[in-house]
């Protein structure tokens, strides 16, 4: 729901009810992952997507119906063998949705979610989607606070306990319990949506390439930070899309930032006095992606300097240099796309092959495997 939060919050504040459809489960190849959302206002406006266009028309009609009744509903859409153009997913997958009516009565804590998402603070929404008379009720929580109710104290205790683990990992999924929150039972289904702070993209070097990388990083939803020791170049006018601009030596700034496995670091200075000291630090962080710009000659010299600084071959193997995928890029914008493509591949997991040359499923993660993974965590 993060991508439509601004639009739906305006409806909520104005007192206009809206139907919210959320993907709760997927099978096989589907265009949109669990947690994807689409909203329909009472006036008929639509924002968001749950299938990339396949079933949105039908979801619109169901949403309008629920706005009239005030109820909630689970629906499932899959491919139609008899008529590929019937309501369904022509990609061959299946999705399950939970569609609910949102207004100040059904979800009085909704603005708490809006404020947290806008401020980049972690928060989770637990929505009861099956199993009791309280279907459609919500529980909101973070590390310290809990708002709302699922009308069962024992169920709420289990949901918050499991949900905080999902929130820490930034995961969204359906979790099953017994009526009183018992584990290893499946009568009650709860959708837990995690909203964590946006992942960071840290760009070192206020070059023309950096301008394009910052722009595409912001488009991808990162919190973008630009750092350069040269105040003349790292300005708000040059980087209007950046969330934060830092005038400092890169190697002195990086240790002051929290870096996790979702963080991407791009070193675009291609100047040894800037990039070698910061890469020495970056390659020893938890960053999920570290890339550095430069020619192959620059790269070889950089590796030599980093080895002299004491980095191991394992640490050096994490470095993506020369940065980016081979897309035949010529302009700064094309180069930024090649860098972004490599970032996505490293952080999410891709083969970098043309999909037209592969025969395995495009989307390889299923809710079933995620649920099994959660069971494994509980059993551990």
Residue 97: pLDDT over 60: yes
Residue 86: pLDDT over 60: no
Q: Where are the beta strands (DSSP E) in 172-300?
A: 173-177, 188-195, 200-204, 223-228, 244-247, 264-267, 289-292
Mean pLDDT, all residues of the chain: 87
Q: What are phi and psi of 288, to 5 degrees?
A: -75, -15
User: CA 368: distance to chain centroid?
Assistant: 19
Pick 200-349's CATH classification: 1.10.101.10, 1.10.10.10, 1.10.3720.10, 3.40.50.720: 3.40.50.720
Sequence-separated (6 or more) residues with CB below 8 Å from residue 60: 40, 46
Average pLDDT over residues 145-168: 92
Based on the number of CB atoms within 10 Å of its own CB, is 297 exposed (0-12), middle (13-18) or buried (19 or more)? exposed
The domain segmentation of the chain, as residue ranges, is 1-106, 109-197, 200-349
Q: Considering the entire predicted model, what is its pTM? A: 0.73
Residue 32: pLDDT over 90: no
Give the whole-angstrom CA distance, residue 327 versus residue 349: 18
CB 23 within 8 A of CB 35: yes
Give the whole-angstrom CA distance, residue 54 versus residue 24: 17
pLDDT value, residue 378: 36
pLDDT value, residue 364: 53
Give the whole-angstrom CA distance, residue 38 versus residue 20: 6
Give the whole-angstrom CA distance, residue 109 versus residue 103: 10
User: What b/e sequence results for 231-251 when a residue is b if at least 16 CB atoms lie within 10 Å of its CB, and e otherwise?
Assistant: eebbeeebbeebbebbbebbb
Share of residues in the chain with pLDDT > 90 (%)? 66
Least confident residue range of 43-47, 189-193, 351-355: 351-355
**Token digits for 89?**
């997913």
pLDDT value, residue 85: 41
Q: Within a 13 Å sphere around the CA of 123, how many CA atoms are in the beta-carbon half?
A: 22
pLDDT value, residue 370: 38
pLDDT digits (tens, 9 = 90+) for 160-219: 999 999 998 888 999 999 999 998 888 999 999 999 888 999 999 999 999 999 999 999
Residue 358: pLDDT over 90: no
pLDDT digits (tens, 9 = 90+) for 234-289: 999 999 999 999 999 999 999 999 999 989 999 998 788 889 999 999 999 999 99
Average pLDDT over residues 20-39: 84
Q: How confident is the model at residue 363 (pLDDT cuts 50, 70, 90)?
A: low
Rounded to 10 degrees, what is the CA torsion of 178, 181, 184, 189?
Answer: 60
Closest CA to 13 of 108, 100, 98, 101: 108
pLDDT value, residue 1: 84
């Amino acid at each position: 729901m993060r991508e439509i939060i601004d639009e739906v919050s305006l409806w909520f504040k104005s007192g206009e009810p809206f139907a919210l459809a959320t993907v709760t489960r997927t099978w096989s190849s589907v265009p949109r992952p669990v947690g994807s959302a689409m909203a329909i206002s009472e006036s008929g406006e639509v924002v968001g997507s749950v299938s990339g266009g396949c079933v949105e028309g039908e979801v619109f009609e169901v949403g309008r119906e629920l706005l009239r009744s005030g109820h909630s509903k689970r629906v499932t859409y899959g491919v139609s063998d008899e008529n590929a153009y019937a309501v369904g997913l022509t990609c061959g997958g299946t999705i399950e949705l939970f569609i609910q009516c949102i207004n100040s009565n059904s979800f009085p804590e909704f603005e708490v979610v809006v404020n947290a998402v806008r401020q980049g603070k972690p928060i989770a929404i637990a929505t009861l989607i099956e199993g009791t008379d309280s279907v459609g009720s919500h529980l909101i929580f973070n590390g310290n606070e809990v708002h709302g109710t699922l009308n069962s104290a024992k169920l709420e205790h289990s949901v918050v306990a499991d949900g905080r683990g999902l929130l820490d990992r930034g995961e969204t999924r359906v979790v099953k319990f017994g009526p009183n929150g018992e584990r290893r039972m499946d009568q009650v289904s709860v959708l837990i949506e995690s909203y964590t702070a946006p992942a960071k993209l840290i760009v070192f070097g206020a070059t023309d390439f950096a301008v394009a990388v910052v722009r595409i990083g912001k488009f991808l939803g990162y919190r973008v930070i630009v750092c350069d020791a040269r105040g003349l170049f790292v300005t708000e006018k040059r980087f209007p899309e950046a969330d934060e601009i830092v005038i400092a030596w890169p190697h002195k700034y990086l240790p002051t930032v929290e870096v996790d496995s979702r963080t991407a670091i791009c070193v675009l200075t291609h100047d040894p006095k800037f990039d070698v000291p910061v890469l020495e630090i970056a390659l020893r962080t938890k960053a999920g992606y570290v890339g550095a710009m430069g020619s192959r000659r620059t790269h070889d010299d950089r590796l030599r300097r980093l080895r002299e600084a004491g980095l191991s071959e394992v640490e050096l193997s994490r470095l993506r240099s020369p940065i980016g995928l081979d897309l035949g890029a010529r302009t700064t914008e094309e180069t930024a796309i090649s860098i972004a493509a490599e970032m996505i591949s490293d952080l999410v997991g891709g083969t970098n092959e043309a999909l037209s040359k592969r025969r395995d499923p495009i989307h390889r993660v299923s809710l079933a495997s995620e649920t099994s993974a959660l069971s494994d965590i509980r059993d551990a």
